């Protein structure tokens, strides 16, 4: 949680009042929405596409399923899952940030899957969906921005059907003594400068690097999922732990 007291919460390496974090995160993603996909490709050298492909492959999404893409932003996962659920299934692309959701909606409509996707402005900590509603819930690179992560995980568990699976794809902790210092230099020296050059926004990508370091590590997040009610939770590291895919099941 990284919450220092009852009134403040981390925003990168800074502490801000609890009731201001959502507004500050919204400001970050309002700023980067139009260049978000381009920056993802540039800053990960395109590897984020492989991380997401692996997430989809392990999701088990099939025709006719109902899927929630939470904090789905510009719709990478929603697009892939809409093709898998087909005309008989439904994907809900949900995000708290309307700027990101607008980019995602336009993208999916242009891709011809708009009829299979519903769009929802949603706070992960207080979802409006009924209990036991979704076969699969995904959340890619969104959990670290949530104020109360334990509450969001409990909500994901609540809206999953019995037998359903949640997949949380998120930056995590690098354990390699060789990769770790290189990754630190890249994160804090190069990434913000890339943000300044490409997205004209250095501060948002400085926050990105800081928010990754403040996010719970692999084992901590696994235990948080179990504490939220998941009957089973596992994780797999990708690219040396730069990213981890956590999976939780509701039986």
Task: Please tell me whether 123 is known to bind a ligand.
Answer: yes
Task: Please tell me whether 244 is known to bind a ligand.
Answer: no
Rounded CA-CA distance 219/46 in Å is 27
> Residue 119 — φ and ψ, nearest 5°?
-120, 135
Nearest CA to 141 among 63, 220, 76, 195? 76
Rounded CA-CA distance 251/157 in Å is 10
H/E run at residue 22: helix 21-32
Nearest CA to 243 among 139, 167, 172? 172
Q: What distance lies between CA 208 and its chain's CA centroid? A: 12
> Residue 228 — φ and ψ, nearest 5°?
-80, -5
- The torsion defined by the Cα of 54, 244, 76 and 198, in degrees rounded to 10, comes to -130
If phi over 0 gives left and psi between -120 and 50 gives alpha, with beta otherwise, what is residue 146? beta
Residues with Cβ within 8 Å of residue 45, at least 6 apart in sequence: none
Residues with Cβ within 8 Å of residue 109, at least 6 apart in sequence: none
Rounded CA-CA distance 212/218 in Å is 12
Binding residue numbers for S-adenosyl-L-methionine: 74, 95, 123-124
Binding residue numbers: 74, 95, 123-124
């Amino acid at each position: 949680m990284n919450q220092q007291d009852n009134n403040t919460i981390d925003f990168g390496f800074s502490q801000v009042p609890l009731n201001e974090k959502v507004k500050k995160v919204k400001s970050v993603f309002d700023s980067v929405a139009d260049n978000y996909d381009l920056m993802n490709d540039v800053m990960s050298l395109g590897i984020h596409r492989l991380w997401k492909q692996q997430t989809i492959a392990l999701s088990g999404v099939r025709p006719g399923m109902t899927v929630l893409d939470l904090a789905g932003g510009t719709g990478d996962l929603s697009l892939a899952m809409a093709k898998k659920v087909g005309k008989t299934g439904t994907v809900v692309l949900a995000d708290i940030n309307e700027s990101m959701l607008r980019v995602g909606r336009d993208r999916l409509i242009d891709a011809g899957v708009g009829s299979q996707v519903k769009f929802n402005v949603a706070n992960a900590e207080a979802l409006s969906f009924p209990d036991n509603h979704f076969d699969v819930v995904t959340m890619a690179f969104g959990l670290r921005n949530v104020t109360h992560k334990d509450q969001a995980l409990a909500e994901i568990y609540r809206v999953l059907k019995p037998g359903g699976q949640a997949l949380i794809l998120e930056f995590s902790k690098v354990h390699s003594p060789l990769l770790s210092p290189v990754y630190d230099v890249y994160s804090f020296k190069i990434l913000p400068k890339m943000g300044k050059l490409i997205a004209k926004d250095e501060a948002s990508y400085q926050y990105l690097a800081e928010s990754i370091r403040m996010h719970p590590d692999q084992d901590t997040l696994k235990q948080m999922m179990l504490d939220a009610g998941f009957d089973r939770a596992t994780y797999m590291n990708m690219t040396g732990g730069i990213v981890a895919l956590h999976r939780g099941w509701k039986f």
